[in-house]
Amino acid sequence: MSALLRNSGMLLLVLGLAACQPPEPPVLAPAAKATMQPAQQPAANDDLDPMARTPIVDPPSAEGTSNGDAPAVASVALDHAGDVLVGQHMSDVKHLGSWESQGAIETCEYFTGKGLPPGVSMMVDDGRIVRFDLDQDEDAETPVAQPGPYGLRIGMTRAQALAQFPGAPISEPHAYLDDQGEYLTWQDPGSDLGIRLELFEGKVLQMYWGTSEAIELIEGCA
């Protein structure tokens, strides 16, 4: 046998053996780790202001509610408190339950009910909701859990409250608390809504939000 035939035979033998070997597995890139971000629920507030769309970060309290049905912390913003909206007629909120009148003066009347967050009452003028009020219950032994718009809270210091406002509020002396009292009022530049805080000795005592005209009433319906 010639050297050429021998070399050709060896080559065919090597190729045949190689063909019988299983192929090398492909190199795979490491799988990317999946990441999950918690869903963020936008505040139902509106297109009034970017800060107004920031979700309230306070988790609902697992303990007690004022009426057994409503959560201890509910969504609020300049245009609403819970499921009740500024501008709605009383007939629009009848499905939320019964409403208790806190007294009326001419066309203006205050109501409380299960349709509102704990501690919140609403002012109704000529049948329409124009304002929400939040203050400390004089008989309550614990601070108010429910925040107001922008995370403002009853009991905050003046400095804490100023840090929460989406813009610089207007400061005015309180009508009845002498030099120890103050009003801080902020008007949303994109709507006819605003919020006012009443302070005493440098701490938030009460707040109310709604239409610009309604929050100017320092004695409520009076």
- Tokens 């400061």 label which residue? 171
Instruction: Give the DSSP H/E element, type plus range, for residue 161.
Output: helix 158-164
Q: Domains in the chain: how many in total?
A: 1
Q: In the prediction, which pLDDT does 222 show?
A: 77
Q: In the prediction, which pLDDT does 149 show?
A: 97
- CB-count exposure of residue 77 (10 Å: 0-12, 13-18, 19+): buried
Residue 156 lies in a domain: yes
Q: Are 143 and 155 in contact (CB under 8 A)?
A: yes
Reading the block at residue 219, the tokens are: 């004695």
CA-based nearest residue to 208, from 101, 100, 98, 120: 120
Residue 119 lies in a domain: yes
Q: Name the residue range of residue 94's domain.
A: 50-215
- Cα–Cα dist 13/7, whole Å: 10
Low-confidence ranges of the chain (pLDDT < 70): 1-72, 139-140
Residue 121 lies in a domain: yes
Residue 172 lies in a domain: yes
